[in-house]
Structure 1
Amino acid sequence: MRDGLPLDPALLWILAGLVLLAAEVVLPGIFLLWIGLAAIGTGLYLLAAPAAGFADAVVVFLVLLAAGVALALRLRGSRAPRPRVNTPDAGLVGRTGLIVAAAGPELRVRVGDSDWPALPAGGATLREGEAVRVVGVRGTAAVVEPLAAAAPSGAA
């Protein structure tokens, strides 16, 4: 006891946890949540087991913190995959185009209203004016295959 205020370690752990939870509301991110909850859990453990020492409190805190982080990682992994927005393959793969230049090493395909450098898929030989389907993107080049090869087998 100091100046009439009790300095119970359990209450200090709980107070520290509440301060961390309040900081979580103000700061971006979510990591302080798990530290604050682990601190509150440690304080509750010390209230339930007053004979526990500092080493016990640290072990309980670390175990609760590890469990919280593991839970957060598991919850994060269970979310649906984020859509790929604003990437070349998000808007190109699956679209059809027309080979506009096939002379020399330069192969270009027109997809919609844009021309793209192109790479033939599987070493296919492409001619100017040939219809193709974009099957991937490598760097800034569209990987294309002839439209006839892209059609499912059995199609007439």
Structure 2
Amino acid sequence: MEPWLIWILAGLVLLGAELALPGAFLLWAGLAAIGTGLVWLVVSPGFPLSVVIFVGLMAAGVAVGLRRRRGPEPLRVNTPGSGLVGREGVVLATGLPGLRVRVGDSDWPAIALEGHPIVGDIIRVDGVEGTILQVRLTR
């Protein structure tokens, strides 16, 4: 059997295994093996150089895959701030433990970004830091 055919068949087996197993590592190994087989088909570089070609192609594929993963931070759906910013609520309590506000059907600790709200004031949520809402009066 020709070496180029062995490389291409090994690459196809690795791509098939990628479909059956979780992860993305076998994808790059399979594509690198197919690329090495195609180089063998054209040039016949010999085994030591073909291993170097395989490793180089695999490293390039992994680098491309890692670069693609970097991007904008995905929207976190189930975080406290995801649906609260911009909503209005009412001040429940002020005092030593801090400001408490009700937004929707939940009570939250809060920090007033400006002014000194009193019980019953209407506020708007400007941000969320951890589980503490950053609020402003809506006057």
Which of 52, 57, 60 is residue 59 of structure 1 equivalent to? 52
8 Å CA contact 2:98, 2:111 repeated in 1: no
- 1:66 partner amino acid: A
In the alignment, is residue 137 of structure 1 matched against residue 131 of structure 2? no
Partner of 1:153: none
Q: Deviations over 1:90-132 (max 9, x none)?
A: 111111111110122331001011111112226x422221211
Q: Give % identity.
A: 55
Q: Distance in 2 between matches of 1:64 and 1:76?
A: 19
Could you say which residue in structure 2 is the equivalent of 1:69?
62
The reply to whether residue 128 of structure 1 matches residue 122 of structure 2 is no
Aligned 1:94-109 pairs, distance under 5 A: 94-109=86-101
Post-superposition Cα deviations, 1:58-92, rounded to whole Å, max 9, x if no partner, equal 221122223322333444446x7633211111111
Alpha-carbon distance between aligned partners in 1 of 2:51 and 2:111, rounded to the nearest angstrom: 58
| CA-atom RMSD in angstroms | 2.1
- Give the residue type in structure 1 aligned to 2:111: L
The 3-state SS of whatever aligns with 1:85 is coil
Structure 1 unmatched ranges of 5 or more: 1-5, 149-156
Residue in structure 2 matched with residue 38 of structure 1 by the alignment = 32
Structure 1 residue 18, shift from structure 2 partner: 1.1
Cα deviation code 1:16-73 (max 9, x no counterpart): 21111011111122332121011111111112112x1233212211222233223334
Match of 1:146 in 2: 137
In 2, the alpha carbon distance for the partners of 1:81 and 1:140 equals: 20
Q: How many positions carry a matched residue from both structures?
A: 139
Counterpart code for 2:47: F
For the residue of structure 1 that corresponds to 2:83, the secondary structure is helix
Quick check: 2:92–2:102 contact (8 Å CA) kept in 1?
A: yes
- What are structure 2's unaligned runs of at least 5 residues? none
Q: With the length of structure 2 as denominator, give the TM-score of the two structures.
A: 0.85
